[in-house]
Amino acid sequence: MDRVQHLGPIDGDGGNMPFLGVAGIFVGHSPSSLVVTVASVTCNGAGWIVAFLHAKSNKMPIATSPLADRVALITGAGRGIGRAIALRLAQAGAATVLAARTEDTLLTVAETVRASGAEALVVPTDVTNDQQLEGLVNTTLTRFGHIDILVNNAGGGPPRAPVVKARMGDWQWTLRVNLWATMVLTKLVLPSMVERQSGAIVNICSLAGLTGRAGEAAYAAAKFGVRGFSQSLFEEVREHGIKVSTICPGYVDTALIPPNRRVDRSKMLSPEDVAEAVYGVVVSPARCCPVEIVLHSQHDPIKT
C-alpha cells in the first residue's frame, strides 16, 4: 500500500477517522483485474461509503503472521473461491477447517495449506444437511476449541429458466445451499464467537444479490436473502466484537461459469481477488467493520 485517499462520512460527526486503511482508496500493489465499487464501513458509530481494497502481502512466518492462533472455517473450500480463501488465510497463519462435499479435493487443498506451515482440518460436509453442519462445528470445536472466522462460501444455482418454467426442486435446493446453510451454520458457530467476544463472519454473495436478473429468480432471491440476513445479524452481534461482512463479486473465473456463457474469462475476477477482500475484512481493526463490499472486473467480461 503506497497511500490512501480519504473519502468521508455519510452520517455521524465523522470528525476523526481513526483508520484510513479501511476508509479510503488504496493506491499501488492492487490486482489489475480488481476494482471495488463500494464498501459500506461502520467505524466508531459513523457510517462511511468507501472504496475498499486490501493490498496483497508477502508470505511471512506463522509466528509473526496476523492470523496466528486464529481458526477459520470455510465452506466450499475444495475449489475456486473457497480454495483461494483457505490458502490466503492459511498464508496469514490461520488454522483452516476445510468443508465441502468432495473429500479428494479437500485433501489436495489441505496439502497446500500444510506446505505453507499452517494447520488444516478436512471435514467432508454437505451444507444442505443440517446434521452434517452440526457435525462440522462439533468436530471443529473438539479439535481447536473455538472458531474465530467463518466464511460461508458454498453456493450455486440451477440452470437459467423463467419462473413459469422453473422446477420447484431447483428452487428448494438453491435456497437451501445459498441461504439456509448460511443461516444454520452461522447460528451454530456464533456461541463460540460470543463467548470470546470477537470473530468475523464473511458471507460470499453475488451481484445477483444487488440486482435481479431474468432467468435467475431463485438465485437472486437467495442472495438478496443473504444480504438481509447479514445486515440484521450485524446489528445483533456488533456489540460482541463480531464482524459481519457480505462480499458481492461479479463474474469470477471458476468452474461454476457454464462453458456456453458469453463471457471473456480473461476479463473476469480471479478467485484470489475475492480472497483478498475476505482477508481485508478479517484483518481490519476491531473498531471497524466493512459490512458490504462489491467487486467488479475492471473491464466488462460480458460479450456483446
pLDDT by residue, tens only, the chain of 304 residues: 333 333 333 333 333 333 333 333 333 334 444 444 445 544 444 443 333 333 334 444 444 689 999 999 999 999 999 999 999 999 999 999 999 999 999 999 999 999 999 999 999 999 999 999 999 999 999 999 999 999 999 999 888 899 999 999 999 999 999 999 999 999 999 999 999 999 999 999 999 999 998 999 999 999 999 999 999 999 999 999 999 999 999 888 776 666 666 676 667 798 999 999 999 999 999 999 999 999 988 766 765 4
- The pLDDT assigned to 252 comes to 84
Gyration radius of the chain over CA positions = 18
- What backbone phi and psi angles, to 5 degrees, belong to 245? -135, 140
Q: Is 279 assigned a catalytic role? A: no
User: Are the C-beta atoms of residues 83 and 42 closer than 8 Å to each other?
Assistant: no
- The pLDDT assigned to 296 comes to 87
- The pLDDT assigned to 298 comes to 74
Domains of the chain: 3-55+64-297 (3.40.50.720)
- The pLDDT assigned to 24 comes to 33
Q: How far apart are CA 226 and CA 242, in angstroms?
A: 17
- The pLDDT assigned to 297 comes to 84
User: Are the C-beta atoms of residues 132 and 125 closer than 8 Å to each other?
Assistant: yes
Q: How far apart are CA 100 and CA 77, in angstroms?
A: 6
- The pLDDT assigned to 264 comes to 63
Q: How far apart are CA 19 and CA 24, in angstroms?
A: 9
Left (φ > 0), alpha (ψ -120 to 50) or beta: where does 140 sit? alpha
Q: Which of 48, 180, 219, 251 is catalytic?
A: 219
User: pTM here?
Assistant: 0.79
User: Are the C-beta atoms of residues 47 and 115 closer than 8 Å to each other?
Assistant: no
Helix axis angle for 80-91 and 271-283, nearest 10°, is 40
